[in-house]
Amino acid sequence: MAFKTIIEPFRIKTVEPLKMSTVAERRKYLKAAHYNPFLLHSSQVIIDMLTDSGTSAMSQNQWAAIMQADESYAGAQSWERFYSEVSDLTGCEFVLPTHQGRAAERILYGYLGGKGKVFISNTHFDTTRANIEFSGAEAFDIPCRESEDFDSDYPFKGNMDVNRLEKLLKQHKKNVAAVIMTVTNNSGGGQPVSMANMEAVAALCKKYKVLLILDCCRIAENAWFIRHKEKGYADKSYRAIAKKMFDMADGSIMSAKKDALVNMGGFLTLRDKKLADACMGLLIITEGFSTYGGLSGRDMEAVAVGLREVFDDDYLNYRIKSTSYLGDHLRALDIPIMYPTGGHAVYVDAAKLYPHIPVHQYPGQALACALYTLGGVRCVEIGSVMFGKYDAKKKLIPARHELVRLAIPRRVYTQSHIDYVVEVFQEVRRTREKAKGLKIVYEQPFLRHFTAKFVEL
Is residue 95 within 8 Å of 84, Cβ to Cβ? Answer: no
Among residues 26, 36, 47, 51, the one that binds ligand F0G under rule CB under 6 A: 51
**Beta carbon nearer to ligand F0G, 76 or 260:** 260
Q: Identify which of 83, 128, 88, 138 has the alpha carbon closest to the alpha carbon of residue 107.
A: 128
In whole angstroms, how close is the CB of 82 to ligand F0G at the nearest point?
A: 16
Question: Which of residues 85, 141, 161, 215 is near ligand F0G by CB under 6 A?
Answer: 215
E strand map for 216-276: 251-255, 266-270
Q: State which residue has the least CB distance to ligand F0G.
A: 101
Q: Does 26 bind ligand F0G (CB under 6 A)?
A: no
Question: Which one-letter DSSP state was computed for residue 432?
Answer: G
Q: Report the candidate in 421, 234, 251, 216 with the shortest Cα–Cα distance to residue 335.
A: 421
Segment near ligand F0G (CB under 6 A); pick from 100-108, 144-152, 326-334, 408-416: 100-108
Nearer Cβ to ligand F0G (107/357): 107
- Considering the complex, state which of residue 185 and residue 361 has its C-beta at the smaller distance from ligand F0G: 185
- Nearest CB to ligand F0G, comparing residues 55 and 361: 55
Residues within window 407-426 making contact with ligand F0G, judged by CB under 6 A = none
- What would the x/- binding string for ligand F0G be over residues 170 to 189, using CB under 6 A? ------------x---x---
User: Considering the complex, what minimum distance in angstroms separates the CB of residue 444 from ligand F0G?
Assistant: 18
What gap in Å lies between CA 56 and CA 306, rounded to an integer?
10
User: Which residue stretch of 98-106, 221-229, 282-290, 386-394 sits at the interface with ligand F0G (rule: CB under 6 A)?
Assistant: 98-106
Nearest to 61 by CA among 291, 262, 221, 321: 262
Residue 323 binds ligand F0G, judged by CB under 6 A: no
Per the CB < 8 A criterion, the answer to whether 400 and 447 are in contact is no
For 26, 41, 347, 405, the CA distances from 378, given in Å and listed in that order, are 11, 11, 13, 10
Torsion from C-alpha of 333, 334, 339, 342, nearest 10 degrees: -30
Contact between 365 and ligand F0G (CB under 6 A)?
no
Q: Evaluate the omega torsion of the peptide bond into residue 184 and state whether it is cis, within 30 degrees of 0.
A: yes
CA distances from 234 to 163, 219, 238 (A): 28, 17, 10
Under the criterion CB under 6 A, does residue 78 sit at the interface with ligand F0G?
no
By beta-carbon proximity to ligand F0G, the closer residue of 52 and 85 is 52
Nearer to ligand F0G, 130 or 357 (CB): 130
257 binds ligand F0G (CB under 6 A): yes
Q: Of 141 and 215, which has the nearer Cβ to ligand F0G?
A: 215
> Residue 310 or 374: which CB sits closer to ligand F0G?
310
Residues 111-170 that bind ligand F0G (CB under 6 A): 125, 127-128
Q: Which of 60, 7, 56 is nearest to 317 (CA)?
A: 7
Among 158, 266, 343, 376, binds ligand F0G (CB under 6 A): 266
Note whether 100 binds ligand F0G by CB under 6 A. yes
CA dihedral sign of residues 240, 242, 243, 249: positive
Residue type, 433: E
Question: According to CB under 6 A, which one of 197, 255, 291, 341 is a site residue for ligand F0G?
Answer: 255
Residue 392: count other Cβ atoms within 10 Å of its Cβ.
Answer: 5
Alpha helices for 356-399 (secondary structure H): 363-375, 384-387
Q: Does 53 bind ligand F0G (CB under 6 A)?
A: yes
Q: How far is the CB of 103 from ligand F0G (least distance, A)?
A: 7
Q: Tell me the helices (H) and strands (E) count for the chain, helix number first.
A: 16, 16
List residues near ligand F0G by CB under 6 A.
51, 53, 100-102, 125, 127-128, 182, 186, 215, 217, 255, 257, 266
